[in-house]
Amino acid sequence: MKFFVDTAEIDQIAELNDLGMVDGVTTNPSLIKKSGRDILGVTKEICALVSGPVSAEVTATQADDMIAEGRKLGQIADNIAVKVPLTWDGLKACKTLRDEGLMVNVTLCFSANQALLAAKAGASFISPFIGRLDDINLDGMSLIEDIRIIYDNYGFETEILAASIRTVNHVLDSARIGADVITAPPNVIKSLASHPLTEKGLAAFLADIEQTGQKIL
């Protein structure tokens, strides 16, 4: 499973990228606002830092305007994935931009039927939002499972990009079901390394070696 990091903070991306934990990056208008950076400038910097897909989202809502914005974003770098919303206009933009050879990430997906439409429109990635479904007492992971079954049934090449990841269990469940990609904030990715028994065991080892008075260096 590929790991995308969901942020526009360059330092956080660089830290994870140096460890080989970044297969791509996703951004959105909210993350751009949080970074305080210019959307074109920070996107260009991210694209230069990582080799994998970098999702940059359009801000228009009409198909023709989305297409124009997508073309401009696509000029930033070869690894841009233009991010469009899962609306009828977004699907129109997806089809046109894909026909022109650009990667497209269709975002804000909340149903398997929406995911089916995105695949038919040629989306490179579909982004189902797990956490936001959980927020309204629906099972976000069931959506990932439904999309996996449908895509496998018909051989769709659109990659399932599990988004709105809130917890380490979201990552685990996405991997079990077979999501192609997860995108998560840096703190969630780092949390995957944490376990109380690891910390307890390390403390015991350090205490024991300290009692021997030995040092390696």
Residue with tokens 């840096």: 186
Q: Facing residues of 183 across strands?
A: 4
Give yes or no for a contact between 175 and 144, defined as CB atoms under 8 angstroms apart.
no
Run of H or E residues at 154: helix 140-154
The DSSP 8-state label assigned to residue 20 in this structure reads: T
Length of the chain: 217
Distance CA 85, CA 80 (A): 16
Q: First and final CA of the chain: distance in angstroms?
A: 38
Q: Facing residues of 160 across strands?
A: 126
83 in active site: yes
* Coil, helix or strand at residue 9: coil
Identify the active-site residue in 2, 34, 83, 120.
Answer: 83
Residues acting as catalytic residues:
83
